[in-house]
Amino acid sequence: MSAQPNELATYSAQFERYANALTAAERAPRSVQFSRFLASGFPDKHQEDWRYSDLSRLAEQNYEPDVTTAEVSPIALLPDADALVYINSHLQDAPSTSRWHSDTCELPPPTTGVDALNAAFASGGLRLRLDRGTRLDKPLQVLFVSRADLQASMSHQRHLIELGDQAEATVLLDFSGDGSERLATHFFDVRLGRGARLRLYRIQNEKAGGTLMTRIDAKLSRDAKFEAVTIDLGGGFIRHDLDIALAESGAETTVAGLYAQAKHSHIDNHVRVVHAAAHCTSRMNYRGLVDEKTKAVFNGKVVVQPGAQKTDSEQRIANLLLSRKAEVNAKPDLEIYADDVKCAHGATVGQLDEVALAYLRSRGIAKDTARAMLLRAFALEILDRIEWPALRARIESALHLPSELTVDFEA
Amino acid sequence: MLEINNLHARVEEKEILKGLNLSIKPGEVHAIMGPNGSGKSTLSNVIAGREGYEVTEGSVLFDGKNLLDLEPEIRACEGIFLGFQYPVEIPGVSNMTLLKAAINARRKHQGETEIAPNDFLAWVRDRAKLVKIDPKMLSRGVNEGFSGGEKKRNEILQMLVLQPRLMILDETDSGLDIDALKIVADGINALRGPTRATVLVTHYQRLLDYVQPDYVHVLARGRIVKSGGPELAKELEEKGYGWLEAA
């Protein structure tokens, strides 16, 4: 598990160059993180959480720091939203309309693996801090565009979303890439004050070739509400960690996700909800459409800590395997250390309903269209959670789903 | 319109149809009756082109075309409609979406443009009234949460909307109360005309009190063993099928 002497040498060389440009005060905490990274190395398949997403291949890579600052177009900015646009890790002033950016970031206590690598090199990024009782009047779209550099490059960013008591915001984390040989890691520190409400969308549309890893750590105070919708459309090697701590009573979270992958992709979602206080509610609902030569990993875990009585938790995972060459590893997991709780969980892996397909065809609908209609029906539960019409339309069109007909006979 | 010659068909290695002949002309209504397991549903499914049925011998011509060469959706676009014995529920695909996709598939097949939204709504609303389906139910998933009778009426609604030329109704009457049976029969009769033909596959005489057939056939052991007029159905009602199966 720990790195051999000459492994990670390229990372050491990059770090030395990077650290030399820092002041001594800046350098010290970074060095601590980097030493931790060297000691742990990249996680491999012997670590349970990385069993299906072995990163040891990254040890041999030589990623330069990213330098791209070029404007790119067209950029998929959604209407009626403020925007922050990053190309690789660089803020683009022109298309950005939001002021919620910071060049610097806070570092976490020493950690290991990818988190330590991120902390050692990280630059700033989104820094959204809302005072008590304030509300973001428009949704905030944060675009992370991954573009080819002169050489294979890496970017590491740390972000903060901190909502004061009763504050409210809608944020879209919008990842896209051109499939160039890059490594990008993002850490999001999310803190919700009492009664605060955050609606977070995380959309990923990377292309085969890129490596993207995100971690969102959310901590909810009393009566806070965190609603997350995550959609993975693209390919590449993707790992998402979403950790939600329901720290005080009355906190509530709903997480809904869809992974519908492009060919030759690897998408690993780890979602963990910790009920640390009594009277908290969590809902987890993930659906996967897994097609040819792709691998999907979903690990959903709910932990009910001692004293977290009256916990109400439910996790559901459903997968449709669309090809014999697809692979899915879905695992719901439940750890309960309290006795007065309501917890339900279930996971399914199935195939397209042939009877329904035959029925649609018997009405004259071509096989491909009928299939697309059924895929849409499967994804609908998750798509319905997107309460942002322009975003939903964009995702449906990216999924190549036929539009659903809504009619009003009274009109 | 439909010419079936010496049709042999298997389901999972088991031969069900063993040399069936049937000729149907435009304007005619044929009833196909017979005991359970005689091959009635197999016949319907082979005509509609459902997967899992293997034709080993014989031919089925529709307007002179070899039907067995066509995908099920093409058969539907050519004007064949099968009303299912057990209509499937499809949550997430609304009835309206199904109807519109089906109409437009047919129009595309015939080289026509898509139907205008207002024309579509009016067309469906008028037909929903005929089968007493509340249009609000049509925003729900296909047959989702429908009662048995509602599912059968929904099959008839689809048929009325799509205006097929050959209607095959596979035990559409089974499990219906008398009111629902009348609605189903009214729907079938509404489409009766000189250019259309109907095949009623049924176990009971009951439906035939409301939809008068021109011909009645008895299917037993994979073949038509007796054909006659409407009076044959009444005879079967009195005597059962035993006397024919033994013959």
* A366 shares its domain with A343: no
* A96 shares its domain with A217: yes
* Residue of chain A whose Cα is closest to the Cα of B91: A377
* A109 shares its domain with A242: yes
pLDDT recorded at residue A408: 57
A74 pLDDT above the threshold of 70: no
pLDDT recorded at residue A410: 53
pLDDT tens, residue by residue, B101-156:
999 999 999 999 999 999 999 999 999 999 999 988 999 999 999 999 999 999 99
pLDDT tens, residue by residue, B176-225:
889 999 999 999 999 999 999 999 998 888 889 899 999 999 998 899 99
Q: Report strand pairing: B29-33 vs B14-24.
A: unpaired
pLDDT tens, residue by residue, A389-403:
999 999 988 887 766
DSSP state string for B183-238: HHHHHHHHH-STT-EEEEEESSSGGGGTS--SEEEEEETTEEEEEE-HHHHHHHHH
A264 pLDDT above the threshold of 90: no
A372 contacts on B by Cβ (under 8 Å): none
Q: Does A362 touch chain B (CB under 8 A)?
A: yes
Per DSSP, what are the bridge partners of residue A252? A225, A281
What pLDDT band is residue A151 in, cutting at 50, 70 and 90?
confident
With CA atoms as reference, report the closest residue to A200 among A234, A237, A240: A240
CB A54 within 8 A of CB A45: yes
A75 pLDDT above the threshold of 70: no
CB A89 within 8 A of CB A155: yes
* Residue of chain B whose Cα is closest to the Cα of A383: B92
Name every residue in B having a CB less than 8 A away from some CB of A: 48-51, 71-73, 76-77, 82, 84, 87-88, 90-94, 96-98, 100-102, 105-106, 109, 121, 125, 135-136, 138-139, 141-142, 158, 162
Residue range A161-176: mean pLDDT, rounded: 97
CATH topology of domain B2-246: Rossmann fold (3.40.50)
Domain endpoint, select from A330, A351, A372:
A351
The reply to whether ipTM tops 0.85 is yes
Question: How many CA atoms does the CB half-sphere of B75 hold within 13 Å?
Answer: 29
* A302 shares its domain with A377: no
Domain endpoint, select from A335, A351, A367:
A351
pLDDT recorded at residue B246: 60
* A360 contacts B92? CB cut-off 8 A: no
CB B30 within 8 A of CB B211: no
Per DSSP, what are the bridge partners of residue B66? B61
| A34 in a structural domain | no
CB A208 within 8 A of CB A181: no
A206 pLDDT above the threshold of 80: yes
A409 pLDDT above the threshold of 80: no
* A210 shares its domain with A345: yes
* A325 shares its domain with A366: no
Summary mean pLDDT of chain B? 92
A105 pLDDT above the threshold of 90: yes
Amino acid (one-letter) located at B19: G
Least confident of A29-38, A168-177, B132-141: B132-141
* A227 shares its domain with A99: yes
**Exposure b/e, A53-92, CB count within 10 A at least 16 = b:** bebbebbeeebebbebeeeeeebebbeebbbbbbbbbbbb
Residue range B84-107: mean pLDDT, rounded: 94
H, E, C per residue of A132-144: CCCECCCCEEEEE
B124 CB burial (10 A radius; 0-12, 13-18, 19+): buried
Long-range Cβ contacts of B46-49 (<8 Å, 24+ apart):
B46/B7, B46/B9, B46/B17, B47/B2, B47/B4, B47/B75, B47/B80, B47/B82, B47/B168, B47/B199, B48/A362, B48/B72, B48/B75, B48/B76, B48/B80, B48/B82, B48/B168, B49/A362, B49/B75
Q: Does A103 touch chain B (CB under 8 A)?
A: no
pLDDT recorded at residue A93: 86
Q: Which residues, including other chains, have CB under 8 Å from residue A312's CB and lie 6 or more apart? A: A280, A281, A282, A341, A342
A229 pLDDT above the threshold of 60: yes
| A31 in a structural domain | no
What pLDDT band is residue B20 in, cutting at 50, 70 and 90?
very high
Q: Does A337 touch chain B (CB under 8 A)?
A: no
* A360 shares its domain with A375: yes
| A51 in a structural domain | no
How far apart are the C-alpha atoms of B101 and A373, rounded to whole Å?
10
Higher pLDDT, B149 or A165: A165
pLDDT tens, residue by residue, A49-58:
999 998 988 9
What pLDDT band is residue A234 in, cutting at 50, 70 and 90?
confident
Phi, psi of A70 (to 5 degrees): -65, 145
| DSSP letter, residue A195 | T
| A98 in a structural domain | yes
| A36 in a structural domain | no
* B94 contacts A405? CB cut-off 8 A: yes
Q: With H, G, I as helix, E, B as strand and everything else as coil, classify residue A334.
A: strand
Q: Which domain holds residue A389?
A: 354-411
B80-83 sheet: strands from edge to edge: B80-83, B166-170, B197-202, B29-33, B215-220, B223-228
B174 pLDDT above the threshold of 60: yes
| A18 in a structural domain | no
A366 contacts on B by Cβ (under 8 Å): 73, 105
Number of residues assigned to chain A: 411
Residue range B57-67: mean pLDDT, rounded: 94
The region, left, alpha or beta by phi > 0 then psi within -120 to 50, assigned to residue A264 is left
Domain boundaries, chain B: 2-246
Compute CA B226 distance to the chain's CA centroid, rounded to the nearest angstrom: 21
**Which one of A289, A374, A407 would you mutate to disrupt binding with B, by most B Cβ within 10 Å of its Cβ?**
A407
* A339 shares its domain with A358: no
pLDDT recorded at residue A190: 98
* A382 shares its domain with A342: no
Token pair of A155, please?
């970017």
| A200 in a structural domain | yes
pLDDT recorded at residue A406: 57
* A237 shares its domain with A264: yes
pLDDT recorded at residue A161: 98
Closest Cα in chain A, distance from residue B161 (Å): 11
Domain endpoint, select from A334, A351, A368:
A351
The minimal CB distance from A367 to the residues B73, B88, B162 is found for B73
What pLDDT band is residue A411 in, cutting at 50, 70 and 90?
very low
* Count of domains for chain A: 2
| A225 in a structural domain | yes
Closest Cα in chain A, distance from residue B134 (Å): 10
* A109 shares its domain with A170: yes
* A355 contacts B88? CB cut-off 8 A: yes
**Vertex A103, ends A102 and A106: CA angle to 5°?**
75
